[in-house]
């Protein structure tokens, strides 16, 4: 594995990237706003699971395809953007019975479905693949006993875990903010709209940025 100096630089850089507000944190917050703590936790778990797809892609060199084939990158980005917008619209237009809090409705979704949706959001974001491809190789050591692909796998797993810790922090902060907002049906409807609006904005941002 890399020497101590490289590892220290790796952990410092990873911490900075992990705790700067980004799309995954906003996604987890949106799910928490619309679905309560359970919604946020299942979203974070799904994002974490989807992150391993990109870790494996970087380790096996698959992420290079996104740089070599721009059409593949653009196509996957648009599919991911459309999926985010679809989830946001579904949040906003979800039926809500009088006096029923939206969090209860979203918590009624099977956890496996919520985790799968969140994992797909992460998998369909090619920017994550490019990040791992650009970030991880800087901290590998060709002379180490562990092969490069193994180093990339280990470092990527650490990065994914640290990013997930930031997502979890965001979930608990968002929950505290929205708890007071869920004391009336009207405020519950607005939390759905806010959560859905964040997802739509993330989708538009993903589609329009390079």
Cβ-in-10-Å burial (0-12, 13-18, 19+) of 17 comes to middle
State the chain's mean pLDDT as an integer. 82
- Residue 144 DSSP class: S
pLDDT confidence of 194, banded at 50, 70, 90? confident
Q: What's the confidence (pLDDT) of residue 163?
A: 95
pLDDT confidence of 129, banded at 50, 70, 90? confident
Instruction: Give pLDDT tens digits for 138-156.
Output: 888 888 788 888 899 999 9
Mean pLDDT of 84-93: 83
Given a cut of 90, whether residue 101 has pLDDT beyond it is: no
Distance CA 138, CA 143 (A): 14
Given a cut of 80, whether residue 69 has pLDDT beyond it is: no
Q: Are 58 and 133 in contact (CB under 8 A)?
A: yes
Given a cut of 60, whether residue 198 has pLDDT beyond it is: yes
Instruction: Give pLDDT tens digits for 46-60.
Output: 999 999 999 998 888
Q: Are 73 and 137 in contact (CB under 8 A)?
A: no
If you compute the radius of gyration of the chain from its CA atoms, what whole number of angstroms results?
18
For 27-57, letters b (16+ CB in 10 Å) and e give bbbbbbbbbbbbbbbbbbbbbbbbbbbbbbb
The region of weakest confidence among 124-133, 160-169, 185-194 is: 185-194
Mean pLDDT of 129-137: 86
Given a cut of 60, whether residue 107 has pLDDT beyond it is: no
């Amino acid at each position: 594995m890399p020497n101590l100096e490289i590892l220290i630089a790796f952990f410092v850089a990873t911490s900075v990237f992990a705790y700067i507000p980004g799309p995954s944190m906003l996604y987890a917050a949106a799910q928490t706003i619309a679905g309560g703590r359970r919604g946020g936790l299942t979203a974070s778990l799904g994002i974490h699971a989807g992150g391993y797809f990109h870790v494996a892609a970087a380790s096996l060199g698959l992420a290079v395809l996104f740089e070599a084939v721009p059409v593949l990158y653009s196509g996957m980005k648009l599919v991911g953007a459309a999926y985010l917008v679809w989830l946001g619209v579904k949040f906003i237009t979800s039926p809500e019975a009088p006096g029923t809090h939206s969090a209860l409705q979203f918590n009624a979704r099977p956890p496996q479905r919520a985790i799968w949706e969140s994992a797909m959001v992460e998998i369909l974001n090619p920017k994550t693949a490019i990040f791992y491809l650009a970030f991880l190789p800087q901290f590998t050591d060709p002379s180490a006993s562990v092969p490069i692909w193994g180093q990339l796998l280990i470092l990527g797993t650490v990065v994914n875990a640290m990013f997930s810790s930031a997502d979890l922090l965001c979930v608990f902060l968002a929950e505290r903010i929205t708890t007071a907002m869920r004391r009336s049906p009207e405020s519950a409807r607005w939390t759905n709209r806010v959560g859905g609006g964040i997802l739509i904005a993330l989708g538009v941002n993903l589609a329009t940025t390079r």
